[in-house]
Amino acid sequence: MNWILNRYITKEFTAAFFLSIAIFTFALLVGNFIKMADLIINRGVALTSLLKLIFYLIPYLLTYTVPMAMLTATLISFGRLSSDNEIMAMRSLGISLLTISLPLLVLGIIISVASIPLNDKLLTKSHFASRKVLREIGLRTPTAYLEAGTFIKDFDGYIVFIHEIKKNKLKNIRIYQPQENRPTRTITAKEGEFIPVPKKGIIKLKLIDGTSEEPDIKDPTRFFKLNFKTYYMTLNVQDKPRQKRLEKKTSEMTIKELKEESKKLAEEGIELEPLLTEIHKKIAISFSAFVFVLIAIPLAIKSNVSEKSISLGISIGVLVIYWLFLVGGTAFALRGILPPWFAIWLPNIVMGAAGVLLLNGVIKK
- 224 and 308 in a single domain? The answer is no
Residue 28 lies in a domain: yes
- 350 and 283 in a single domain? The answer is yes
Q: Rounded to whole angstroms, how far apart are CA atoms 111 and 323?
A: 19
Does 349 score more than 60 pLDDT? yes
> Would you give the DSSP letter of residue 245?
P
Q: Of the candidates 193, 209, 236, which is a domain's last residue?
A: 236
Residue 241 lies in a domain: no
Residue 245 lies in a domain: no
Q: Rounded to whole angstroms, how far apart are CA atoms 288 and 311?
A: 18
Higher pLDDT, 44 or 217: 217
**What type of residue sits at position 340?**
P
- 333 and 227 in a single domain? The answer is no
- 276 and 311 in a single domain? The answer is yes
Q: Of the candidates 236, 268, 295, which is a domain's last residue?
A: 236
Specify the 3-state DSSP secondary structure of 176: strand
Does 289 score more than 70 pLDDT? yes
Specify the 3-state DSSP secondary structure of 268: coil
Containing structural domain, residue 168: 155-236
Return the pLDDT at 40. Answer: 63
> Would you give the DSSP letter of residue 247?
P
Q: Which stretch, 141-150, 174-183, 237-246, 272-281, has highest mean pLDDT?
A: 272-281
Q: Rounded to whole angstroms, how far apart are CA atoms 273 and 262?
A: 9
Q: Rounded to whole angstroms, how far apart are CA atoms 25 and 307?
A: 21
194 near 143, Cβ under 8 Å? yes
Residue 246 lies in a domain: no
Residue 147 lies in a domain: no
- 223 and 260 in a single domain? The answer is no
Interval 295-313 mean pLDDT: 75
355 near 295, Cβ under 8 Å? yes
Does 127 score more than 60 pLDDT? yes
The CA–CA distances, whole Å, from 356 to 44, 74, 79, 138 equal 54, 15, 18, 50
Residue 144 lies in a domain: no
Return the pLDDT at 241. Answer: 41
69 near 24, Cβ under 8 Å? yes
- 131 and 170 in a single domain? The answer is no
151 near 161, Cβ under 8 Å? yes
Q: Of the candidates 204, 236, 268, which is a domain's last residue?
A: 236
For residue 203, the surrounding DSSP H or E stretch is strand 202-215
Interval 290-318 mean pLDDT: 80
343 falls in which pLDDT band (50, 70, 90)? very high
Residue 149 lies in a domain: no
For residue 181, the surrounding DSSP H or E stretch is none
pLDDT tens-place string over residues 218-275: 776 677 888 899 988 887 764 444 444 567 778 888 899 889 888 887 877 677 888 8
Q: Rounded to whole angstroms, how far apart are CA atoms 222 and 205?
A: 28
Least Cα distance to 346 among 320, 328, 319 occurs for 328
- 213 and 278 in a single domain? The answer is no
- 46 and 78 in a single domain? The answer is yes
Interval 38-42 mean pLDDT: 61
| Mean pLDDT across the chain | 82
Return the pLDDT at 294. Answer: 93
- 36 and 116 in a single domain? The answer is yes
Q: Give, in degrees to the nearest 5, the angle at Cα 358 between 356 and 361.
A: 105
| Model-wide pTM > 0.75 | no
Return the pLDDT at 89. Answer: 86
- 213 and 261 in a single domain? The answer is no
Q: How many domains does the chain have?
A: 2
298 near 105, Cβ under 8 Å? no
pLDDT tens-place string over residues 25-38: 988 888 777 766 66
Task: For 47-95, give the DSSP string.
Answer: HHHHHHHHHHHHHHHHHHHHHHHHHHHHHHHHHHHHHTTHHHHHHHTT-
Task: For 290-306, give the DSSP string.
Answer: HHHHHHHHHHHHHHT--
Cα of first residue to Cα of last residue in the chain, in angstroms, is: 24
pLDDT tens-place string over residues 74-121: 998 888 888 888 888 888 888 888 888 899 999 999 999 999 999 988
